[in-house]
Amino acid sequence: MAPRAASVGRLLMAGALSSGVLSSVVSAQDAPKPQPVATAPAPRTDLPLKLAPRPTKSGITADDLMTRLYIFADDSLMGRDVGTEGHFKATTYLAAEAKRMGLKPAGDSGTFFQTLPLKTKKVDPLSSFIAGGTALTLGREWGFSAKAPLSFESAGVVFGGLLGDSTVRLTAEQASGKLVAYTMPASQSGIGLALEAGNLLPAGAAGLIIIVPQPVIGILGYVMQSGAFIDSDAGVASPRLFVMMDAASKLFSKPVADLAVGDAGAAVNVKAVMEIKPSAFPARNVVALLPGSDPKLKNQYVAVGAHSDHVGVAPRGIDHDSVLVFNRIVRPGGAEDDSKFGTAEQFAQINAELAELRKTQPARRDSIFNGADDDGSGSVAVQEIAEYLSSAKVKPKRSTLFVWHAGEEKGLWGSAFFTEHPTVPRDSIVAQLNMDMVGRGSVTDQTGMSADGKELRGGPDYLQLVGSRRLSTELGDLVESVNTGKKHNFSFDYAMDANGHPMNIYCRSDHYEYARWGIPVTFFTTGGHSAYHQLTDEPQYIDYQHMQRVSRLVADIALELGNRPARPTVNQPKLDPRGICKQ
């Protein structure tokens, strides 16, 4: 699952804690006597670190899921970061399996792959911004976001007011040929306005400057970070310059707080260059089709999906068991709890548990984010469902579209690209069933928090649902009826689906990119846990029996959607496909 959308705001406002803090976990030797600390018991597993692959069967079984996941989350795939060799190998495996099952390729040019326009970017350190003869420091006083070079010579600056305020606007004459400077609200919505897609330029203006309040200084590093991006025109933000508030005095002769809309600033000279190159390895959605059996309904599609990527490799190796115990005790939500540092009592307990572990197993340095649950579990569950449906004597009446999305962890890249450039007519997709992190959900896992801050825990029949009634109450009812009618007997947890929930789960996985185009969705997940986006998300910690049950439920829902006479009715308000997602 992608990082919290609001985490951009958290990062910019406060700074995030890196996994390197775990190196500060003190040695297990000579550990002090532990003090009692309230915490969930450690998850138990007797599964091996490695497992030899075995042939899979047509049915959905725990053994098959285990075989697939040990392949898909193996160290050799190096954390499946999109644009790397590891993710390239992962998508090659998915496509080969889809072909073996007899599925039809539904990607580009008769292949199983839909290739995303992935490129890498790096700021040219010689980029410059000179205002009234005074140079601003790149990365501290100014920054920029642009795919093509920005160049302005002796360009005039005019103040446009508060970003997003439509009550007072520049005239066309005031904006003509100028760089328009707006102040950015120091809020999450202000960050969204500054970063999200859309053209904020008034007609006739030459360029855009956003004046950033000091608490949001991290925005400069965010917009100029080196790395991969999708070079697509769809939903791309217009080029923009960012100037920190304390440097705005070099743009205007009086404090920003005293400026009026239309006030003129100093002439500026700007050269901003982002070096852009093709990615070393392509980013690929894997798209496969099981044609429907009904001559008319086969032109409609039930989409079943997951994301194939994860977050790659850590800069350095650290002790696996230290991470495992530290997160279980201090950060039960994994990366969701990255602001928790631990108490002296907790560290005493950590050291005592590590000392016990060292009696039976040696230390293991680890640097690979295997992503077994996130979202290896969803990816292999989709494989099992595909093999089950494709091996059935009677196929569903509607076609089933299987999509393994790339780049979800980077910001829903693959699902956004697929729904912008669908390989089947977008309005022919009747529903999308998304599985992301479906391999845990035990009572030892903190699966999330309610909207009012109460801890959620898993259990034997636990499953979270998100979005199932947000567009179509009929789809939500169908999911419930299949669960009871087919005796899957899950206890659905809808707490994370609450309107205004601060974790914003509805916006954080691939189903949202379908929902924004009016396609009914259901997001299935067993929820969060202490291994979320951690080095400890490995196959030996997965509950394969539970994942089998989830996979069988989703398969039965896909069958029901594939065979029922009518598609689910959309009876709830549709989203703005170009808007900002907010649960």
Instruction: Considering the domain delimited by 30-36+59-119+281-563, tell me its CATH architecture.
Output: 3-Layer(aba) Sandwich (3.40)
CB 556 within 8 A of CB 486: yes
* Domain segments of the chain as ranges: 30-36+59-119+281-563, 125-272
- Please name the residue ranges forming H helices in 196-319: 219-224
- In Å, how far are 114, 547, 570 from 299, measured between CA atoms? 20, 31, 19
Q: Which residues make Cβ contacts (< 8 Å) with residue 439, sequence separation at least 6?
A: 69, 372, 373, 376, 377, 526, 542, 543, 544, 546, 547
Per-residue pLDDT tens over the stretch 158-169: 999 999 888 888
Per-residue pLDDT tens over the stretch 351-371: 999 999 999 999 999 999 999
Q: How confident is the model at residue 5 (pLDDT cuts 50, 70, 90)?
A: very low
Per-residue pLDDT tens over the stretch 270-316: 999 999 999 999 999 999 999 999 999 999 999 999 999 999 999 99
First to last CA, the chain: 16
- Between 34 and 149, name the one with better pLDDT: 149
CA distance 157 to 263: 9
Give the burial class of 187: count Cβ atoms within 10 A of its Cβ; 0-12 exposed, 13-18 middle, 19 or more buried.
Answer: middle
DSSP class per residue in 437-491:
S-S---TTSEEEE-TTS-EEE--TTEEEEESTTTS-HHHHHHHHHHHHHTT---E
The pLDDT value recorded for residue 34 is 39
> Does residue 19 have a pLDDT over 60?
no
CA distance 326 to 331: 7
CA distance 486 to 60: 15
The pTM assigned to this predicted structure is 0.86
**Side-chain-side CA neighbours of residue 335 (13 Å):** 23
Per-residue pLDDT tens over the stretch 35-65: 444 455 555 568 999 999 999 999 999 999 9
200-214, 306-320, 520-534, 563-577: segment of lowest average pLDDT: 200-214
The pLDDT value recorded for residue 30 is 36
The pLDDT value recorded for residue 229 is 87
> Does residue 24 have a pLDDT over 50?
no
DSSP class of residue 242 equals E
| 125-272 CATH | 3.50.30
